Chains A and B, each alone.
Chain A
Amino acid sequence: MKQAFLPLLSLSILVTLAAPLHAEPTDPLEVRPTLVEPQVSLPTNLVTVPVVNPGEYFVPPLVDDIPDDKTGDMIRWGRNIFVNTQKYAPRYAGNGLNCVSCHLSEGRQPYAAPLWSAYPIYPIQRNKTKTVVTFPQRIQDCFKYSLDGIAPTVDAPEMDALVTYAKWLSTAAPVGVVLPGRGFASIKKTHDPSPIEGEIIYKSRCALCHGENGEGQKNRDGVGYMFPPLWGTDSFNRAAGLNKVKTAAQFIKANMPLGAGYTLNDDESLDVAAYMWIHFRPDDPRKSFFMNRFAPKPGGAN
């Protein structure tokens, strides 16, 4: 008995020491659970949070690392609002979208306007408003335009929760530095985008999830969307960033179809974006009722 013990011990020590040397290379698509419960049957990789190779993009902390105190409660609340705005902030959402409809992977995905690239650089001057805006003011614009709703006040508790979540996602990110992965992917426009081309691409590549008429796909319980509507009354309004053909194309290029980003080229992305743009969506709140009826639709210029 005692004689067999020593070789076993030395073997186990050897294995422990040798293990790191033979470790597998890091899987670029590490599977992590998300808050989103699949409501329709999907291949698993569509509801995972992809992790890029270390060093390429900033990596926000794990969900399991949320501290277990009041700050943690606030972070969890902010994350809930972010992922399921319809349930946790129904007071402010005017359409069927959630924050996570555009800020994919709970706001972590590079080139899907990740929160960790935004929080550290605010306050900053925005071209849209021509003024310096703070981070809560920027979130207000999201609610007003992209969620076509009513902005929470800058001191609203929901706002505090969202800011706390963004701050937590930016843990250890450098302040004031434009990080790679910020905003959307860059795009080169080589021809005038054609909605006719876009319709063909849309029907073949996008309509499966977003519907023939861009109506999206609801969860099976009928509450909220699994795949967000792209136009119509339940989608973002004319003042949202994604109503601009170029911005929408930048988003589409890097992220669409979901889980298969960069499969459309620049021209195809622009065509799809143009096809989205020509459809009806709610009024621009920055213009009066009459200007919305008679003035040209914004967002198509660039």
Chain B
Amino acid sequence: MSPAEIKHTLAGRFFPFTEWLPMLDADTIRSDVWAGVAAGILILPQAIALATMAGLPPEVGLYTSIFPIFVSALFGSSWHVLSGPNTSISVMVATIVGAYASIGTPDWIMYTLTLTFIAGAIQLLFGILRLGAVFNYFSHTVMVAIVTGVGVIIIVQQIGNFFGMTVNPGEPVEDTLYSIFFRIPDANWWAASLGILTVGSGMFVKRFFPKLPYIIVAVIVGMLGGWLLDLLFGSGNINVDKLGYLSLEALPLSAPDFSPTNFYEAAEGLIMGGFIIAFLGLMQSAVIARAMAVRSGQHVDIDQEVIGQGLSNIAGSFLTCFPSCGSFNRSASNIDMGGRTPLVGIVSAIVLALLVVFASPVIAQMPLSVMAGILFLVGAALIKVKDIRTLLSVRGEARISFLLVCFTTVYGGLQWGVLLGIAVSIIAYMRAVSRPEFDVLFENEAEQYMPEGVDDATVVQLSGSLFFGSTHTVERALADIARDDQRGKPLIIAGELIDNMDDAGVATLAQEARKRKEAGNGLILWLRDHNLDELLKRNGLFTLLGTGNIHYAT
């Protein structure tokens, strides 16, 4: 590597934006600005709604859609991922902070900022230690289950707002539904009709005009409906709860609070929660970055993406933001709109800020039931019926882990769902790798492995990893074979497909070889190449089998 190249990659590592800045020409800038304008408008209703989900003032949601996007656009790896508030993380924040403060109070905001900092620091650590690859092992089933659970939680939480009444927060799903059923007569039908109008128009547009951004159309239709009702019947009569005037500061400086009085009582929960949020955010960001890379063909450095997310959250905690991560629908629409570089994110942040400053009196009149309708649409989009049906139709592991994680998320809370999901992923991964495949070969297939002088032998093809985790399975398989042939024949293990082996794996083979020797027959081993020789020699397998009984495919 020449010095110039080293310098280039160093710059790329610490300032990833140096790689795409030279790409900007008139054409790219034009398409990026348009994509940015679209993205900025698209996020407005979601930013407000998700901040409400997290129990925060709507302004915090807007800040979260402005500042972290700058940072992750500059320091992230993917050119197409747009960050911002995220549904699962919003629900998660409310769950964690809810244990230490009353919803929406200054204390609540303070703990949220601390949480943002902790999550960002953990993410940054992950990126610096280059642990981004960990997120490739997170099972797709678990991801679908968690997202489905979040969808259900969102819809259930918003039923009260949808019907214009107050429900008890934090009740189990069935209690909320039960109480709603009996309180339907008390519902504010003006509010409910606006909610129904929003959901209906959203579904209509999604079904018949898939090109249009259905969330935006639904918001506009809902707000127009609310304005019309006010005009005809008077806002004091219809009593629909509304959002209220938003006031943004140019630079909402804040700081995470680690002072003993405020932090110690919450330290355990916040650190634990920060870890879960960091994990949840990175999981989704990694999935999105990979999906976008597949669509755009750009090589994405997952570790750099993780660093970008970490930095954006750390910066966010000093600018009144709650934790953010990559957002799937925004990133997908970004590619659809023809965005090419992270300039889109920067433009979208500026557009959003301008929109809020100049459209504040209009946004103030957004009825909360319209917002609930939007969240119904968002939540319903998270419940992917097709994926779920596929998962449920598969017998066994996938179905069980899906139901388990989904049920835990809805009833036990999102944090337990995520923890269980991590555990389930690890278990599923371990189960998959600890089951090397055994195939008994016959006829022609078998004969090609028989060396000169051996006419009759049991030939077994072994593929996968032969390590401490899989010895149990291998031992059982070898015992089965022994019961079949009574060790009356030599055993040939065709192991060209063995990826790797450790001492425990070699010991298993050695044990079988010893048993075969006692029975008067040998064990013949085929390997792909000489990579494992060192290991076999160290464990004395060469002397046990005899050098002539180890063959190499290449």
| Residue B546 CB within 8 A of the other chain | no
B521-538, CB under 8 A of A: which get 1 and which 0?
A: 000000000000000000
Asked whether B247 lies within 8 Å of A288 as measured between CB atoms, the reply is no
Within 8 A of B (CB), among A148-165: 149-158, 160-161
Instruction: Return chain B residues, CB-CB under 8 Å to A157.
Output: 102-105, 108
Q: Which residue of A lies closest to B231 (CB)?
A: A289
In chain B between 229 and 250, which residues have their CB closer than 8 angstroms to a CB of chain A? 230-237, 241-247
Q: Is B480 an interface residue (CB 8 A)?
A: no
Any A CB within 8 A of the CB of B57: yes
On whether the beta carbons of A74 and B245 are closer than 8 Å, the reply is: no
- Docked-complex contact B242 and A150, CB < 8 angstroms: yes
Interface set, chain A 252-302, CB cutoff 8 A to B:
284-289, 291
CA distance A155 to B166 in the complex (A): 7
Interface size class of B (residues with CB under 8 A): 20 to 34
Task: Point out the residues of chain B lying under 8 angstroms from A149, CB to CB.
Answer: 244-245
CB of A94 within 8 A of CB of B105, answer no
Q: Does A92 contact B (CB under 8 A)?
A: yes
Residue in A70, A91, A145, A153 whose CB lies within 8 Å of B236: A145
Q: In the complex, what distance in Å separates the CA atom of A156 from the CA atom of B244?
A: 12
A287–B58 CA distance with the chains assembled, in angstroms: 29
A145 to B237 Cα, complex, angstroms: 12
Chain B residues closer than 8 Å to A91, beta-carbon distance: 57-58, 243-247
Whether B122 is near chain A, meaning CB under 8 Å from some CB there, is no
**Which of B108, B235, B244 has the most chain A CB atoms inside 10 A of its CB?**
B244
Contact size range, A: 20 to 34
CB-CB < 8 A to A151: which residues of B? 241-242
In whole angstroms, how far apart are the Cα atoms of A157 and B241 in the complex? 14
Q: Flag whether A242 is at the interface (Cβ < 8 A).
A: no
Interface residues of B in 160-215 (CB under 8 A from A): 166, 169
- CB-based contact B236/A285 at 8 Å: yes
Closest Cβ–Cβ distance, residue B433 to chain A (whole Å)? 49
Q: Which residues of A are found within 8 Å of B246, using beta-carbon distances? A: 91
Out of B106, B232, B242, which one reaches A288, CB within 8 Å? B232
B368: interface (CB < 8 Å): yes
A144 at the interface (CB under 8 A from B): yes
Min CB distance, B503 to chain A, in Å?
A: 58
Counting CB contacts under 8 A, is A73 at the interface? yes
A284 and B236 within 8 A (CB):
yes
Contact B105 A73 (CB under 8 A): yes
> At the interface, yes or no: A77 with Cβ under 8 Å from chain B?
yes
- Map CB proximity to B onto A165-182 as digits: 1 under 8 Å, 0 otherwise: 000000000000000000
Residue A239, interface by CB 8 Å: yes
- Name the A residues within 8 Å of B102 (CB-CB): 70, 74, 157, 160
Q: Which residues of A contact B230 (CB under 8 A)?
A: 285, 289
Residue pair A286, B237 in contact (C-beta under 8 Å): yes
Are A150 and B245 closer than 8 Å at their CB atoms? Answer: yes
A154 to B233, CA, bound (A): 22
Q: Chain A: which residue is nearest B233 at the CB level?
A: A288
- Contact status of A92 and B244, CB under 8 A, knowing A74-B105, A157-B108, A288-B232: yes
For the complex formed, measure the closest distance between the CB of A259 and the CB atoms of chain B, giving whole angstroms: 32
Cα–Cα distance between A90 and B246 once the two chains are bound (Å): 7
Closest chain A residue to B105 by CB distance? A157
* 30 CB < 8 A contacts A-B: A70-B102, A74-B102, A90-B245, A91-B58, A91-B246, A91-B247, A93-B245, A144-B235, A149-B245, A150-B243, A150-B364, A153-B166, A153-B368, A155-B166, A157-B102, A157-B103, A157-B108, A160-B105, A239-B236, A284-B234, A284-B236, A285-B230, A285-B235, A286-B234, A286-B237, A288-B232, A289-B230, A289-B231, A289-B232, A291-B234
Please give me the 7 A-B residue pairs with the lowest Cβ-Cβ distance, nearest first. Answer: A157-B104, A285-B236, A286-B236, A91-B244, A285-B235, A150-B244, A289-B231
B-to-A contact residues, CB < 8 Å: 57-58, 101-108, 166, 169, 230-237, 241-247, 364-365, 368
